[in-house]
Amino acid sequence: MAKTTDANALTLFDFTRHTTNYQPNILTLSKQEFTELEKKIVVLVVNRIGLMAVKKELPMGLNVTVHIPFSELTKVRYDQIAAAAESLQLKRIGYRRDKEEQFDYIIPFPRIRSLIENGRRVIELTMFADVIPYFAELGQRYTKYDIDVMLSLSSVYAQRLFEIVSMFYHRGQREFIYDIAELRLVLNVPDSYSYNDFRKNVLSVAQRELQNKAQLIIDWEPARKEGKRIVALKFFIKTTEQIAAEAVEQDRRQIRDMPLHEAIQIAYKLMSDYKLKDWQKDIIVSDIEKLETLFRVHSELSNGVRSNVKNPTAYLVKSLGLDQVRENKSQKSTQKQHPQGTGTQLSFIANGPDIRTGTTCSVGDLLGGLFPFSNSPEEGR
């Protein structure tokens, strides 16, 4: 039985982890006292009730009890989970409006205990009815994030910044400004931390972990000062995919304006990274479309756009259409005169690039009429 309901309470038994968490922005922007492991328990509670809230299946006005299996948090250190669950019962979430001199502090889980349910250990967490809206009243704007990424984070600062960044990112904002005093409050930063401590021990720690585990590039700069004191920061959000795509575009622009003889010289250097036959190299540099494909594919591979490619040479050969081409007899005969590894001449044109590129025509001039290059704002004016 997944749940039971009586006049005053709803109990959610079976736990199935959903890929995405949904939570109200008021929870995202609250001050939270949780440790990293306590936060993961809270994340699983949100996972259990958040999707129900999205589907409007969660009744309001009832106390809610949630069962979370120990195995969702660890396979071995059950003692750590038990300790975190015990301490979680004392932790608060808070909301402060200093300008209005208002505050609201809540202990979300007044009762926590461990049980054996269907042969496995679970944490049972009870939430009072008046607390549920802080966890499930989504409204028109709410925060959503990947739960597997969240559970992989080992710093509570990374966990909290991931929530905040996700809130802005999923409503289309790639930049946002945050008052430092408010951000310190939301992240529960010790009062003893100076700005440099805050930057080094909070922001930079979260920045590194989010890049490595969430593929998010977070950067910031001062947004506002009072005298010499920085009082607000402007944050910038990019994904690693965006960074890679920008690098590919930068490479494309450099190649586009490069004289053809230089492009072919670079092409030979790039092709040395792959296990290509000499006759395949000859075909590539003698066909302007294949030359462009070489540059594009190499840039995508080197910048991580095609990070799932296990065999770069095979991928390049297929992208070039060379997997459907076979070496002909005349090429074999010529290669006997110029064995592989000499690298001094093309097999069918004397002096290789020097003969083929007796022009200062750029690669972009030749490719411009063939490929839909996107112009920069300056180029399009």
The CATH number assigned to the domain holding 216 equals: 1.10.10.10
The confidence score (pLDDT) of residue 98 equals 64
Domain end residue (candidates: 95, 112, 141): 141
What domain range is 334 assigned to? 257-367
Identify whether 288 is part of a domain: yes
Shared domain for 102 and 161, answered yes or no, is no
Please give the Cα distance from 98 to 80 (Å, whole number).
Answer: 36
Identify whether 379 is part of a domain: no
Identify whether 247 is part of a domain: no
Shared domain for 97 and 168, answered yes or no, is no
Shared domain for 355 and 272, answered yes or no, is yes
Extract the tokens encoding 70: 């120990």
Domain end residue (candidates: 141, 169, 192): 141
Shared domain for 306 and 357, answered yes or no, is yes
Please give the Cα distance from 190 to 183 (Å, whole number).
Answer: 12
Shared domain for 221 and 186, answered yes or no, is yes
Shared domain for 165 and 233, answered yes or no, is yes
Identify whether 305 is part of a domain: yes
The confidence score (pLDDT) of residue 195 equals 96
Strand, coil or helix: what is 74?
coil
CB atoms near residue 291 (< 10 Å): 22
Half-sphere exposure of 181 (CA within 13 A, CB side): 9
Identify whether 297 is part of a domain: yes
The confidence score (pLDDT) of residue 330 equals 57
The confidence score (pLDDT) of residue 2 equals 61
Identify whether 381 is part of a domain: no
Extract the tokens encoding 347: 């097999």
Contact by Cβ (8 Å): 345, 351: yes
Domain end residue (candidates: 179, 204, 239): 239
pLDDT tens-place values along the chain, 381 residues long = 466 656 678 999 889 999 999 999 999 999 999 999 999 999 999 999 999 999 988 888 999 999 999 999 887 688 899 999 999 999 999 987 766 678 889 999 999 999 998 889 999 999 999 999 999 988 888 999 999 999 999 999 999 999 999 999 999 999 999 999 999 999 999 999 999 999 999 999 999 999 999 989 999 999 999 999 999 999 999 987 888 878 888 888 888 888 888 888 889 989 999 999 999 998 998 888 888 889 888 888 888 778 788 999 999 999 999 888 777 655 555 554 444 443 332 222 223 333 333 344 444 544 444 444 444 444 444
Shared domain for 159 and 180, answered yes or no, is yes
Shared domain for 115 and 32, answered yes or no, is yes
The confidence score (pLDDT) of residue 186 equals 95
Shared domain for 276 and 201, answered yes or no, is no
Shared domain for 132 and 168, answered yes or no, is no
Identify whether 220 is part of a domain: yes
Shared domain for 284 and 341, answered yes or no, is yes
Could you tell me what percentage of the chain is helix, strand and coil, using 3-state DSSP and rounding each to the nearest 5?
A: 45, 20, 35
The confidence score (pLDDT) of residue 257 equals 80
Beta strands in the chain (DSSP E): 3-5, 9-12, 20-24, 31-32, 63-69, 93-97, 102-106, 111-117, 120-127, 142-146, 175-179, 216-226, 229-239
Identify whether 98 is part of a domain: yes
Q: What is the domain count for the chain?
A: 3
Shared domain for 207 and 321, answered yes or no, is no
